[in-house]
Amino acid sequence: MPGNIQSIERAAAILRLLSGPTHRLRVVDLSGELGLSKGTVHGLLRTLQHVGFVEQDRESGKYQLGPALLHMGSSYLDGNELRTRALNWSDSLAGRTQEAVRIGTLHEGQVLIVHHVFRPDDSFQTLDVGSLLPAHATALGKVLLAGHTYLVAELAKRGFASFTEATISDEGRLERELARVRERGWATEMGEMTHNQVSCAAPIIDRSGVTVGAMGIFGPPERLLTARQPRGELLAYVRDAARAVSRELGAIPW
Amino acid sequence: MPGNIQSIERAAAILRLLSGPTHRLRVVDLSGELGLSKGTVHGLLRTLQHVGFVEQDRESGKYQLGPALLHMGSSYLDGNELRTRALNWSDSLAGRTQEAVRIGTLHEGQVLIVHHVFRPDDSFQTLDVGSLLPAHATALGKVLLAGHTYLVAELAKRGFASFTEATISDEGRLERELARVRERGWATEMGEMTHNQVSCAAPIIDRSGVTVGAMGIFGPPERLLTARQPRGELLAYVRDAARAVSRELGAIPW
DNA sequence: TCAGGGTGTACGACAATGTCAAACGCAGTT
DNA sequence: AACTGCGTTTGACATTGTCGTACACCCTGA
């Protein structure tokens, strides 16, 4: 790997920090975190500001992400084949199941939500598109991990965070769970990330056979489950929809 | 303005091209467009790919935007004070008016949609968050331009595109329209961007008195208009909501 | 009112850094 | 089989970004 442009890598590191839990950071915070001199960070920030990637709060002097990123994020979605192909199918899946639908793909070992259809009722729901979810604690993530085995060992180094008492945070148990996912062709998750919230999902596969995404529904257990298992008809709808999208992507019907 | 880091500016230019109408571009397209050597562009792309800002379609070799941008875009929204403060008010505005609500801010002379609440019925609607709309052909844009007068002359240099026969594409007419917007405190738009689609909007003002955003509703004329003017009660709701958000931002009540 | 520590910002000098043009390998065409 | 187009790699040059220091500014507390 001959030469990566380091000023760009540093700029990206700054943006990554700014998209973390603290949305506004000072120059010294960034320079400390990155181990760079104040002046260097300031130069990077100035150009990032000039291109609209960051903006500065004139009162506090702190820096935050800029509007250009929002537009580029939505442009990414427009060009994303997975999402484009899945648009219709996810709508009809939501209609059939009467549940919220999400489509995710892997990004840095987490699940990036690229599409989200609200549950078709009038309840207030917040859009998850653009969110990063933990892979080991969501049905979408399990499906994706099942298709990219090498990742599990890598993620294990950082450890698997526990969100509820149901979270699978042991590598061995997770591996066994993923093996089941692979053989059955779908995954479930039972309150492993949020209490009173369960989900199931199936893989989306492209023409070369790799799992490029996952599609699933989520909601309260009393609606999705019978006898501690996903209701059969819901599961069938999910798997059918994911298979339909795969076929649109050029996968050989299976 | 001593020294902007040019590799970052060039990287940003690449990303801007990739977020244009053509979502997949080749190295030569980019190098031609930017006037840079193929090798340079390739180096930039490699680094951008490494940080997840672009990805390469392995079959065609073309480059497109990457998933990291999606996450950063949504992170921008999380940290955006305008949107955060407006969340509740836009929901209630949509409920009261039974119409779709949008909130926009200025970005590079256009209207960047930072929030969008669907019309509360079951019709299929596509999310506009992240979209860039022309400022001169939307009610949101007129409100924003009315608060940033200097921009009109600047935009006039590039010309005002015509979308329908109602579009105001003459600078003088637009200036007069904006003067009316300023004195009335709200703007309308009647099929000037899309046929059979009208909108009205009011300004959102921060503690220092500058117009930082605009909030409005849009929909078919038969629901929004009476006698070729926005229905009084809808307009009142819009203005009330925008004023409420302004107050949350610290603006002095007026 | 005046020091003090904190911040964001500007300025240089040095050399590490990114750039360019030319060459390579690999497709699909002709 | 030669050719044209692409993405990619290489290596030498000097442009470019980096670093430390120094400045201007805003708070805080005495």
pLDDT attached to residue B1? 37
In Å, how far are A86, A91, B134 from A76, measured between CA atoms? Answer: 15, 20, 20
Give alpha helix (H) positions in A100-231.
139-147, 150-158, 171-184, 221-224
Q: In a mutagenesis test of the B interface, which of A46, A72, A114, A127 is the best target, namely the one with the most B β-carbons within 10 Å?
A: A72
Whether the beta carbon of B49 falls within 7 A of nucleic chain D: the reply is no
Q: What percent of chain A has pLDDT over 70?
A: 98
In whole angstroms, D17 C1' to A39 CA is 11
- For D22, nearest residue by CA–C1' is A39
Percent above pLDDT 90 for chain B = 82
pLDDT at A3: 63
Q: What is the pLDDT of residues B172-217, one digit of tens each?
A: 999 999 999 999 999 999 999 999 999 999 999 988 889 999 999 9
Q: Which nucleotide is nearest to B43 (CA to C1')?
A: C18
* Cα(A253)–Cα(B18) distance, integer angstroms: 33
- Say if CB B18 and CB B29 are below 8 A apart: no
pLDDT tens-place string over residues B89-126: 999 999 999 999 999 999 999 999 999 999 988 778 89
- The average pLDDT across A117-133 equals 90
Among positive and negative, which fits the CA dihedral A167, A173, A174, A180?
A: negative
Exposure b/e, A172-205, CB count within 10 A at least 16 = b: eebeebbeebbeeebbbbbbbbeeebbbbbbbbb
Q: Return d(Cα A108, Cα A160) in angstroms, integer.
A: 14
User: B220-223 long-range contacts, Cβ below 8 Å, gap at least 24?
Assistant: B220/B196, B221/B190, B221/B191, B221/B196, B221/B197, B223/B99
Per-residue pLDDT tens for A168-221? 999 999 999 999 999 999 999 999 999 999 999 999 998 888 999 999 999 999
Per-residue model confidence (pLDDT) at position A1: 38
Residue with the two structure tokens 């999902």: A201
B44 touches strand C (CB under 7 A): yes
Q: What is the pLDDT of residue B3?
A: 63
pLDDT (0 to 100) of residue B254: 62
Where do runs of H (alpha helix) occur along chain B? 6-18, 27-34, 38-50, 67-79, 81-97, 139-147, 150-158, 171-184, 221-224, 232-248
d(CA A204, CA B23): 22
Predicted confidence (pLDDT) per residue in A211-248, tens digit: 999 999 999 999 999 989 999 999 999 999 999 999 99
Q: How far away is chain A from the Cα of B58, in angstroms, using its nearest Cα?
A: 11
Determine if strand C comes within 7 Å of the CB of A38: yes
- Classified as helix, coil or strand, A231 is coil
Place of tokens 């939500």: A113
Residues of B in contact with A127 (CB under 8 A): 127, 129
pLDDT in tens, A63-101: 999 999 999 999 999 999 999 999 999 999 999 999 999
pTM above 0.85, yes or no: yes
Number of residues that make up chain B: 254
Q: What is the pLDDT of residues B50-75, one digit of tens each?
A: 999 999 988 888 999 999 999 999 99
